[in-house]
Amino acid sequence: EVERSLESMTAERDGLQQRLTSTSEELSEQLQAVEQAKAYISELKSENDSLFTQLQHCLVKFEAVNVRLNLWRSSGKLNDSTSTVSEYPLTRSVVGIKK
């Protein structure tokens, strides 16, 4: 009976060791997936920061163009012929859109 009990405990131990091994492997796979996700998130954050910087730069340019356009509107330059504003391609395209 002691031998049966010992065999039973040995089989149980072997089963637990096998479960531990498979659980460890699964955990390793999940940790690797987490590390990959972190790297991807870091990449996305970097791309987001770059896009934010580009957007800020574009907004500054847009504001400068808007101020210039408002100055031209207030001075009546946009009401002149398009030849007057031909040296300003952006304004010429805006005038073309308005017409």
pLDDT per 10-residue tile (average), the chain, 99 residues: 91 96 98 98 98 96 92 79 54 55
Residue 40: the pLDDT is 98
Residue 93 has a pLDDT of: 59
Query: Tell me, what's the pLDDT at 39?
Result: 98
Q: What is the pLDDT of residue 60?
A: 94
Q: What is the pLDDT of residue 77?
A: 75
pTM greater than 0.75 (yes/no): no
Q: Assign 3-class secondary structure to the chain.
A: CHHHHHHHHHHHHHHHHHHHHHHHHHHHHHHHHHHHHHHHHHHHHHHHHHHHHHHHHHHHHHHHHHHHHHHHHHHCHHHCCCCCCCCCHHHHHHHHHHC
